[in-house]
Amino acid sequence: MAKVKTQFVCTECGADSSKWQGQCGECKAWNTLKEFRESKSPAGRPNFDLDARRQGYAGATSKVQSLSEVNLDEQARIVTGIGEFDRVLGGGLVNGSAVLIGGHPGAGKSTLLLQTLCHLAKQLSVLYVTGEESVQQIALRAQRLNLPRDDIKILSETNVESITETAKEVQPKILVIDSIQVMHAPGVESAPGSVSQVRESAAWLTRYAKQTGTVLILVGHVTKDGSLAGPKVLEHMIDASVMLESSGDSRYRTLRAIKNRFGAVNELGVFAMLDIGLKEVKNPSSIFLNRSDEASSGSIVTVVWEGTRPMLIEFQALVDGTSMGHPRRVAVGLDANRLNMMLAILNRHGGVFTGDQDVFINVVGGVRVNETAADLASLLSILSSLKDRPLPKDWVVFGELGLNGEVRPVPNGQERIIEAAKHGFKRAVVPFGNKPKKPVANIEVIGVKTLDEALQLLRDY
């Protein structure tokens, strides 16, 4: 009888504990420890290679060598052909890598993968393992979306041992598991979807992928609170984790890299869900910037940097006299602390008091802005609403604000200005340090050093 070791694993941070506790000792989250039974029997551990020296998830032979000796040919990328997807992945899929695609049910993960892989299957062998939908459902969807169906191989299976058995015969270059939550591994007793099943199944499959040089794509559902069932449990095994999210109830989907060993994170890809499946949005600025023709107070456009490219987004602020003793500060798509800081700077260095006002600020289109480059724009949109003074529609503003009221330069200033000019903006208010030496075509650039100068501009225009 194989010995079974029982452990308790936190679903939030993946920390182990030998006994159950109400609170995780590591991350202090409550009620997140779940029982995890690790099989100690050799049969419960995958081994796809007779070479016993191969260890760990990567399953690589351990041999000391210098970095320059490492063979890089195997790291060639497989370009998926879907531009936004490739960009988020950092230029395509890397051989032998494990990629996790997360998202809410209905986000379009299966659709995105089906669309990508039906086309890729023409050049490479692809095995699509479905544990959720029947093969008929998938065939029907492929037919409806008018995808080539001749080359892609499809398998309905939830046992990872059978999957790797089949994969050894088929020898796919790309193996898709839809989804990891319904998989189960031999030797693990708990139900599919539990931490132990997800962890063991993913480890089993990753090991197969690394040892055979197969690209492994795992689909994972996120739970209501936005975390993947055991995200941290998976994160150390996989090479890249991307999230497909829908912003509100809109038909747009954003694809974002959370972790990527082969490229930049925070890269954003945008798709639209149409009746013919997911379609790339090559110019996302145009959707987040769907403005009415009339200039309105409180609305200001800024250029944020998303991964490797600029994107235009719009701030909307509403400032209104408070009817309660305690004024409200609501920031949607923006850090609330940042908003409070802007109001303090506005008061101290701009001489504008908002202590008796409710302040609401929103980033249009459901995007989240984490960049300090949006400071100046958010502050000006608040001021514009407070004074009920619209800014001309063809102005764009960016810059970081310091606590002393200075306007600080931000990275990639020139590219931001060029992006704004491309979208027909005529005037850019930017930090003085970002003002290009040579004029940029079709746009007037005004460099400001302090908040005062920026406010002066508003009074004068």
Which residue do the tokens 């989804």 mark? 179
The entry of Mg ion, ligand TYD, none that residue 106 binds, CB within 5 to 8 Å by partner kind = ligand TYD
The entry of Mg ion, ligand TYD, none that residue 277 binds, CB within 5 to 8 Å by partner kind = ligand TYD
**Nearest residue by C-beta to Mg ion?**
110
Nearer to ligand TYD, 152 or 383 (CB): 152
| Least distance between ligand TYD and beta carbon 80 (Å) | 16
Nearer to Mg ion, 110 or 362 (CB): 110
Note whether 69 and 52 are within 8 A (CB): no
Long-range contacts of 221-225 (CB under 8 A, 24+ apart): 221/102, 221/103, 221/104, 221/105, 221/179, 221/181, 222/102, 222/103, 222/104
The entry of Mg ion, ligand TYD, none that residue 405 binds, CB within 5 to 8 Å by partner kind = none
Nearer to Mg ion, 110 or 181 (CB): 110
Nearer to ligand TYD, 43 or 276 (CB): 276
| Least distance between ligand TYD and beta carbon 315 (Å) | 30
Distance (Å, rounded) from C-alpha 126 to C-alpha 153?
6
3-state SS, residue 158: coil
| Least distance between ligand TYD and beta carbon 244 (Å) | 7
| Least distance between ligand TYD and beta carbon 35 (Å) | 28
Nearer to ligand TYD, 141 or 149 (CB): 141
| Least distance between ligand TYD and beta carbon 424 (Å) | 31
Distance (Å, rounded) from C-alpha 202 to C-alpha 180?
7
Distance (Å, rounded) from C-alpha 126 to C-alpha 118?
8
Nearer to ligand TYD, 115 or 299 (CB): 115
Could you tell me how many residues make up the chain? 461
- The order of strands in the sheet holding 153-156 is 153-156, 126-130, 174-178, 215-221, 98-103, 240-246, 252-260, 268-274, 277-280
Stretch 81-110 residues interacting with ligand TYD (CB under 6 A): 103, 105-110
Instruction: Give how far Cα 10 sits from Cα of 149, 204, 224, 277, 308, Å.
Output: 42, 20, 17, 37, 34
Note whether 357 and 321 are within 8 A (CB): yes
Distance (Å, rounded) from C-alpha 363 to C-alpha 313?
7
Nearer to ligand TYD, 144 or 236 (CB): 144
Distance (Å, rounded) from C-alpha 220 to C-alpha 241?
10
Cα 170-94-81 angle, rounded to 5 deg: 85
Stretch 237-276 residues interacting with ligand TYD (CB under 6 A): 273, 275-276
| Least distance between ligand TYD and beta carbon 251 (Å) | 7
Q: Which of 376, 206, 237 is nearest to 304 (CA)?
A: 376
Stretch 102-131 residues interacting with Mg ion (CB under 5 A): 110
Q: Which of 60, 8, 46, 431 is nearest to 195 (CA)?
A: 8
Nearer to Mg ion, 101 or 312 (CB): 101
Site string for ligand TYD, 129-148 (x = CB under 6 A): ------------x---x---
| Least distance between Mg ion and beta carbon 40 (Å) | 34
The DSSP secondary structure of 272-298, one letter per residue, reads EEETTEEEE-S-THHHHT---SS--TT
Stretch 276-335 residues interacting with ligand TYD (CB under 6 A): 276-277
Number of residues that bind ligand TYD (CB under 6 A): 14
The entry of ligand TYD, Mg ion, none that residue 183 binds, CB within 5 to 8 Å by partner kind = none
Nearer to ligand TYD, 107 or 346 (CB): 107
Distance (Å, rounded) from C-alpha 382 to C-alpha 346?
9
| Least distance between ligand TYD and beta carbon 191 (Å) | 20
Interface with Mg ion, residue 246, by CB under 5 A: no
Alpha-carbon torsion, ordered 279, 280, 281, 282, to 10 deg: -150
Nearer to ligand TYD, 145 or 341 (CB): 145
91: left (phi over 0), alpha (psi -120 to 50) or beta: left
Number of residues that bind Mg ion (CB under 5 A): 1
Distance (Å, rounded) from C-alpha 86 to C-alpha 78?
9
Site string for ligand TYD, 426-455 (x = CB under 6 A): ------------------------------
The entry of ligand TYD, Mg ion, none that residue 336 binds, CB within 5 to 8 Å by partner kind = none
Q: Give the single-character DSSP code of 369.
A: -
Which stretches of the chain bind ligand TYD, using CB under 6 A? Answer: 103, 105-111, 141, 145, 273, 275-277
Which stretches of the chain bind Mg ion, using CB under 5 A? Answer: 110
